[in-house]
Amino acid sequence: MASVELRNIRKTYGKVEAVREVSLEVADRELVVFVGPSGCGKSTLLRMIAGLEEISGGELYIGGKLMNKVPAADRGIAMVFQSYALYPHMTVAENMGFALKMMGVGRAEVEAKVREAARVLQLEGLLDRKPKQLSGGQRQRVAIGRAITRSPSVFLFDEPLSNLDADLRAQMRIEIARLHDELKTTMIYVTHDQVEAMTLADRIVVLNDGVVEQHGKPLELYQSPANRFVAGFLGQPKINIIPATVIRGPAGSTLSLGKGSVVIPGPAAANLADGERVEVGLRPDALSVGTGPGFEAKVVVAERLGSTTLLHVQAKGLDQLLTIETKGAEAPEVGNDTLVSVDPAGMHLFAADGGRI
Ligand code: ADP
């Protein structure tokens, strides 16, 4: 068990600043997910924690001990990669016990640890198989098992599910969540997939261009994104972000969206000036059709998914389509005009620099 602390961590490759001044504390037993678009620096950050990359600046502590110069093997961590890298000529049991054997751990202890890891991962029936006799998901479970047998104080996962198909990813996601519950060990998990981040994390760290944009519980980030980037990155289907102008009147403030307008909720309106240009973020489930008051739009595409329908609508005067998520299959037909109304509680306002208003 261990906490992980990053203090002003930086990484430069020549002139490229891959990670800039990241400071963060991961509590003992916490499952923290680093998420962000490709190239944002999340793998570099993880590899510095693992000891696979030199740290250019700042300090890294694991379990309260400074780790900057400690070799990877002595950091008490185990890492699971996207590629399983199993030894093809060894059985599942041999693969899982190999590192311990190399460390000189006695045979009985290796066997006990392999048996325990196999139990946790439901691999008991497969211990004598070779990797080529396993499915992709089973191979990744063996790679995780290999990490478990080493009883690390911190697990590091680098996009471990990226090679699996959608069904298996969903299944393995649940297994990793269950594993975290059972092992009660600190885990840091890197992914570019915001669904994985939302569903797995105790806390999400959103990275962009080498800096932390925001960190917090998944729903906190979803409900109160600190800026336009976080709002746009988390949430499926994606949030609608629309340019708008503030109109202050005696009866309250509204936003003009194309030819339509929506009322700004009281607290947010207080900070806005008449004529101010802002961007409004509206999650698809904060929009609904057919009930007023609202603005007019034409349905361009309807994706009927069964329990929900995604409507892509063209509002008058806006040159972008808006996505609306409605419950059930009942929804206006393509080509029809409809009234779109906004749940003010689901409205996010951003200034020109992208910060939340
Ligand atoms: P992510 O994991 O978020 O996709 P990375 O951490 O792999 O991003 O990379 C962050 C940035 O650092 C990228 O701009 C990438 O091109 C750069 N980078 C990563 N590794 C190297 C390297 N060995 N040499 C030079 N630049 C690198």
Using one digit for the tens of pLDDT, what is the confidence trace for 19-48? 999 999 999 999 999 999 999 999 999 999
- Looking at the chain, the whole-number percentage of residues with pLDDT higher than 70 is 99
pLDDT at 167 over 90: no
Residue showing tokens 């290999």: 146
CA distances from 188 to 59, 69, 214, 357 (A): 17, 20, 16, 31
End-to-end CA distance of the chain: 40
Report how far residue 205's alpha carbon sits from residue 220's, in angstroms, rounded to the nearest whole number: 12
Which residue, judged by its Cα, is nearest atom 23 of ligand 1? 13
Cα-to-centroid distance, 3 and ligand 1 (Å): 25
Pocket of ligand 1 (CB under 6 A): 13, 16, 18, 36, 38-44
Would the pTM count as exceeding 0.85?
A: yes
Residue by residue, DSSP assigns 216-276 as: E-HHHHHHS-SBHHHHHHSSSSPPEEEEEEEEEETTEEEEEETTEEEEPPHHHHTT--TT-
Give the per-residue pLDDT at 352.
Answer: 87
Cα-to-centroid distance, 52 and ligand 1 (Å): 13
Q: What are the tens digits of pLDDT across the range 294-347?
A: 889 999 999 999 899 999 999 988 989 999 999 876 788 899 999 999 988 889
The SS3 call for residue 180 is helix
| Residue 14 alpha carbon, nearest atom of ligand 1 | 25
Average pLDDT over all residues of the chain: 93
Residue by residue, DSSP assigns 230-243 as: HHHHSSSSPPEEEE
Instruction: Quickly state the pLDDT bin for 70 (edges 50, 70, 90).
Output: very high
Give the per-residue pLDDT at 1.
Answer: 74
Report how far residue 244's alpha carbon sits from residue 71's, in angstroms, rounded to the nearest whole number: 53
Report the run of H or E that residue 110 belongs to, with start and end: helix 107-120
Give the per-residue pLDDT at 257.
Answer: 86
Which residue, judged by its Cα, is nearest atom 25 of ligand 1? 13
Q: What are the tens digits of pLDDT across the range 83-111?
A: 888 999 999 999 999 999 999 999 999 99
Give the per-residue pLDDT at 299.
Answer: 95
Cα-to-centroid distance, 70 and ligand 1 (Å): 22
Give the per-residue pLDDT at 168.
Answer: 86
Which residue, judged by its Cα, is nearest atom 27 of ligand 1? 13
Ligand 1 pocket check: which of 16, 17, 20, 40 to mutate, most ligand atoms within 8 Å of Cβ? Answer: 16
Q: What are the tens digits of pLDDT across the range 259-269?
A: 888 888 877 78
| Residue 41 alpha carbon, nearest atom of ligand 1 | 6
- Looking at the chain, the whole-number percentage of residues with pLDDT higher than 90 is 78
Give the per-residue pLDDT at 4.
Answer: 98
Report how far residue 342's alpha carbon sits from residue 268's, in angstroms, rounded to the nearest whole number: 15
Report how far residue 227's alpha carbon sits from residue 74's, in angstroms, rounded to the nearest whole number: 39
Give the per-residue pLDDT at 270.
Answer: 81
Secondary structure E strands in the chain: 4-13, 16-26, 31-35, 57-62, 65-66, 77-80, 154-158, 186-191, 203-208, 211-216, 240-249, 252-257, 260-263, 277-282, 287-289, 295-304, 308-315, 321-327, 337-342, 347-350
pLDDT at 356 over 90: yes
Q: What are the tens digits of pLDDT across the range 188-224?
A: 999 999 999 999 999 999 999 999 999 999 999 999 9
Report how far residue 310's alpha carbon sits from residue 333's, in angstroms, rounded to the nearest whole number: 12
| pLDDT average, residue stretch 246-265 | 86
Give the per-residue pLDDT at 258.
Answer: 84
Residues 6 or more apart in contact with residue 103 via CB below 8 angstroms: none
Ligand 1 pocket check: which of 10, 11, 12, 13 to mutate, most ligand atoms within 8 Å of Cβ? Answer: 13
| Residue 45 alpha carbon, nearest atom of ligand 1 | 6
Instruction: Quickly state the pLDDT bin for 145 (edges 50, 70, 90).
Output: very high
Which residue, judged by its Cα, is nearest atom 5 of ligand 1? 41
